[in-house]
Amino acid sequence: MAAKLVSGVEVELNSEGFFANPKEWSEEMIPELAKAEGIDPVTERHLEVIRVMRHEYETKGSGPSVRALAKVSNVPIKELYQLFPKGPAKQAARIAGIPKPIGCI
Amino acid sequence: MSESIEKVSIVISKGSLEGIYPALIMANGARSEGIATNLFFTFFGLDAVHRRRHEHIKLSTVGNPGLHLATWLGGVPGISSVMTQYMESKMDKIDIPSIPEFITMIADTGAGLYACKATVDLFGLSKDDLVDEVQEIITVGDFYNMAAGGQIIFT
C-alpha cells in the first residue's frame, strides 16, 4: 500500500497500482491516472470504456475482464487493445479507480 | 514486483480439446496482463488453426484418466463426440469461447499466431488451409529468434 497524491487528493493505491478505496476516486483524476498508464491524451472513446468499467464495478461489485468489457461497452477487443495497449481491463480499472478485475478469459 | 514477464511464446503441440484450451487461455491471459505474446502451432496443435478442422476439435476419451470413465468406455464409438459436446456446453455456460472464436479473439488482442513449417510440410498443407489469423509459416529457428528475451511455454 502506498499513499499517492492525485489531483491534489491523497489516495491509497495497492502494490499493483489499483485503488484500495474506490470511494476516494473522482472523474477529475482521470487525465492524471491515464498519463501514469502512458495514455495521453484521453479521448472520448477512452472515457466511454473507463465509465463502463466504473459503472460495472458500482453495479456488480467487480470490474469486467477484457472479453466481458468488450461485450458491455460495445468496443471491439481489437480497439480496446489499441486504446489500452498494456491490458485494457487492467489499465481501465486503474484509471477508473476500481480493484483489479478478476477472471481468466 | 521487481521482476515481471514482458514476453511469452507459447507452443501448442497437441490437437485435443484439453491440449489446446490451456494454451489459448494462457495466451489470452498474458495479453490481458499487457505481456507481448506469440503462439506457435506445431504438429497436431496445428488443427487449432486448420480451416476445416478447428471447429471439430475433440476431447480425448482414450487414455485420459482425468475423465474418470471406465477405460473400455472411452473407446466406444461416439463417446468422444458426446463428451466433447458435454464439455463445450459446460464451457459455454461460463462464457469460454469456442476454439475458432478464441483464435480470432487472441489475434485481436495483438498476439502473433504462427504455424510450424515442418508440420505444414509433413501434412502437405499450405497457408490456404490455415485460418487468416495465422500471420506466417515459420521455421523453428524463426520461432527461437522471435522468442528471444522472453519466456517459452510448451504445451
Q: Which residue has the higher pLDDT, A103 or B100?
A: B100
The grid cell for B108 is 485481436
The ranges assigned to domains in chain A are 25-105
Q: What is the pLDDT of residue A80?
A: 97
From the list B32, B96, B109, the residue facing A90 with the nearest CB is B32
User: Which residue ranges in chain A fall short of pLDDT 50?
Assistant: none
- Chain B: give the shortest CA distance to residue A86, in Å: 4
DSSP-assigned states of every residue in A4-60: EEETTEEEEE-TTS-BSSGGG--GGGHHHHHHHTT--SPPHHHHHHHHHHHHHHHHH
Q: Give percent of chain B with pLDDT exceeding 90.
A: 96
E-strand stretches of B83-150: 112-116, 136-138
Does A77 sit within 8 Å of B108, measured CB to CB? Answer: yes
B132–chain A Cβ distance below 8 A for any pair: no
pLDDT at B2: 54
In this prediction, residues B27-31 reach a mean pLDDT of 97
Instruction: Dump pLDDT digits (tens) for B124-141.
Output: 999 999 999 999 999 999
Distances in Å between the Cα of A70 and the Cα atoms of A83, B77, B82, B110 are 12, 40, 32, 15
CA A20, CA A3: separation in Å to the nearest integer?
A: 10
Digit-coded pLDDT (tens) for B70-88? 999 999 999 999 999 999 9
pLDDT of residue A7: 84
**CATH number of the domain located at residue range(s) A25-105 in this protein:** 1.10.10.370
Active site residues of A: 104
Q: According to the model, what pLDDT value does residue A3 have?
A: 84
Question: Is the CB of residue B20 less than 8 Å from the CB of residue B12?
Answer: yes
User: Alpha-carbon distance B139 to A95, whole Å?
Assistant: 41
pLDDT at A103: 84
Nearest CA in chain A to B25: A105
Say if residue B14's pLDDT is above 90.
Answer: yes
* Mean per-residue pLDDT of chain B: 95
Q: Which of B21, B26, B32 to mutate to test the interface with A (most CBs of A within 10 A)?
A: B32
Phi, psi dihedral angles at B151 (to 5 degrees)? -95, 150
SS3 A68: helix
Q: B149 pLDDT exceeds 90?
A: yes
Give me the CATH code for the B14-154 domain, please: 3.40.1260.10
Q: Is the pLDDT of residue B90 over 90?
A: yes
Cβ pair B154, B84 in contact under 8 A: no
Residue of B nearest to A66 (CA): B32
